[in-house]
Structure 1
Amino acid sequence: MTPAWLRPLVRAAREGRVSTPGRAVRNGGGQAAVLMALSGDARALTRPGDASVLLTHRAPTMRSHAGQVAFPGGRIDPGDADPVAAALREAWEETGLRSAEVTSLVTLPPTSVRASGSAVYPVLAYRHDPGRTYPASPEETDDVFEASLAELIDPAHRLTVGWRGWRGPAFRSNGYVVWGFTAALLSGLIDAAGWAVPWERDRVVELGEALASSRNNEM
């Protein structure tokens, strides 16, 4: 059962009202899925104080997206029944998250990661029985953490970053800067759920400057 505090977000997702990066998916490109796993008091009627989202930090030695904060996820394999199965498998491989702990709520339409053009299916899910998570594949993911939704929503932790003419939303969490594809999805979820509060969207911080004071270890 979907907790009451998540129902407005699920409804918005099913009605196509969750903003995603919106980049065109290349024909013939790969397919991937990410798991946007939210947790929090199932009895709450409004967003509870313990609400959080599961995030990972990609090892700086990775060939792609090194040092970035991301949702658990990856390529859809031939043996995966659908994007949900792929997202759950990848989450298990990266974080030790057991599929029995998770209820899939809705799969958003595919969007594209700028670097690859692959079709990425964001899978919104609820962790109804959160267990221990950890860097299960440290060569790929060297940190796994629960990002507090209250902290992500706090204007003090939100910023807009810019790089070579591009700009997009970003968040500060656990010493990291969350930006790019992951931050765009998070921002879309927060807006669609009605959780957003006013913040300085028009104040742009140069991406390199933001990353220099973070734990990302990228660029």
Structure 2
Amino acid sequence: MTDARPITDTPLPAWWHPLASRAANIRGDEITRHLPPAEGGRRSAVLILLAEGDAGPTVLLMRRADTLRDHPGQPSFPGGGVEPADADLTATALREANEEVGLDPATVTVVTTLPELWIGVTNFRVTPVLAWWHAPHTVTARQPAEVSLVANLSVHRLADPANRVSVRHPSGYVGPAFVTPDMLVWGFTGGVLATVLRLGGWERPWNPRRVVDLDA
């Protein structure tokens, strides 16, 4: 399985270029202090799918079902663990997105990847795959037992300081989060999304001292 971080030769909208070039060169420790251990952990990939919306770029997010064993009710990008038949990590991300929300891989151009990150609580080694949704279509939760909500969110609304907070988990974790009409985007997903906004030049000054306490 390849671990390359290529940049596509496919023409992209102008707003894509800062994100693509910066993402291809960023180090994992510039994103988080939680880096994968030297050995162990299950390899996985998530799809950060950006499209052109009516008011600028959009990003596709999901809310996981409340009945799941791992991360119930939490926000996420489409994605999951590597399977033996997957040719590479981008294939993993696209396969999972197809299974979870019905995404047609033919409508997607993979641009590059972020460095491998780590979710310690579930021991997943996660590679975020950045992709251009050049032909958006209707998507929906194909597996209600795993996905309770699918939302295509405006990047500019997410970047609005009024929609940004820090969250404090009972475990002591504190990190960036985004308030949306349908869900609070926090945790691993919130941290990666904050990085995408920064790399794309969309981040605006916000108040990290505005803290929301999470239930256990």
Q: With structure 1 as the length reference, what TM-score do the two structures score?
A: 0.88
Percent identity reads 41
> In 2, are the aligned partners of 1:95 and 1:134 still within 8 Å (CA)?
yes
The CA distance in 1 between the partners of 2:121 and 2:19, in whole Å, is 28
Task: For 1:23, give the aligned amino acid.
Answer: H
The equivalent residue for 1:215 is none
The CA distance in 2 between the partners of 1:206 and 1:190, in whole Å, is 23
| Aligned counterpart for 1:177 among listed residues 179, 184, 204 | 184
Deviation at 1:68, TM superposition (A): 0.5
The CA distance in 2 between the partners of 1:172 and 1:202, in whole Å, is 15
The equivalent residue for 2:3 is none
String of CA shifts for 1:69-97, please: whole Å, max 9, x gaps. Answer: 10000001111011100000000000001
The equivalent residue for 2:40 is 28
The equivalent residue for 1:118 is 124
Query: SS state of the match for residue 40, structure 1?
Result: strand
Task: For 2:161, give the aligned amino acid.
Answer: P
The equivalent residue for 1:4 is 14
- 2:155 counterpart of 1:149: yes
Unaligned runs of 5+ in 1: 42-47, 209-218
The CA distance in 1 between the partners of 2:194 and 2:62, in whole Å, is 17
Unaligned runs of 5+ in 2: 1-10
String of CA shifts for 1:24-63, please: whole Å, max 9, x gaps. Answer: 313121100000000016xxxxxx7242100111000001
> In 2, are the aligned partners of 1:24 and 1:117 still within 8 Å (CA)?
no
- 2:210 counterpart of 1:199: no
| Aligned counterpart for 2:61 among listed residues 49, 55, 59 | 55
| Aligned counterpart for 1:89 among listed residues 71, 88, 95 | 95
String of CA shifts for 1:131-188, please: whole Å, max 9, x gaps. Answer: 1100011111121110111210011110001123321000011321010000000000
Deviation at 1:107, TM superposition (A): 1.2
**Superposed structure 1 runs of 4+ greater than 4 Å apart:** none
The equivalent residue for 1:16 is 26
> In 2, are the aligned partners of 1:22 and 1:112 still within 8 Å (CA)?
no
Q: With structure 2 as the length reference, what TM-score do the two structures score?
A: 0.89
- 2:172 counterpart of 1:162: no
Deviation at 1:14, TM superposition (A): 1.2
Query: SS state of the match for residue 168, structure 1?
Result: strand
Deviation at 1:17, TM superposition (A): 6.2
The CA distance in 1 between the partners of 2:181 and 2:87, in whole Å, is 34
The total of aligned residue pairs comes to: 203
CA RMSD of the aligned region, Å? Answer: 1.5
- Alpha-carbon distance change, 188 to 197 in structure 1, aligned in 2, over 3 angstroms: same
The CA distance in 1 between the partners of 2:27 and 2:206, in whole Å, is 21
| Aligned counterpart for 2:109 among listed residues 103, 108, 112 | 103
Query: SS state of the match for residue 89, structure 1?
Result: helix
The equivalent residue for 1:38 is 50
Task: For 1:142, give the aligned amino acid.
Answer: S
- Alpha-carbon distance change, 17 to 155 in structure 1, aligned in 2, over 3 angstroms: farther
The CA distance in 2 between the partners of 1:21 and 1:125, in whole Å, is 21
Deviation at 1:109, TM superposition (A): 1.2
Task: For 1:167, give the aligned amino acid.
Answer: V
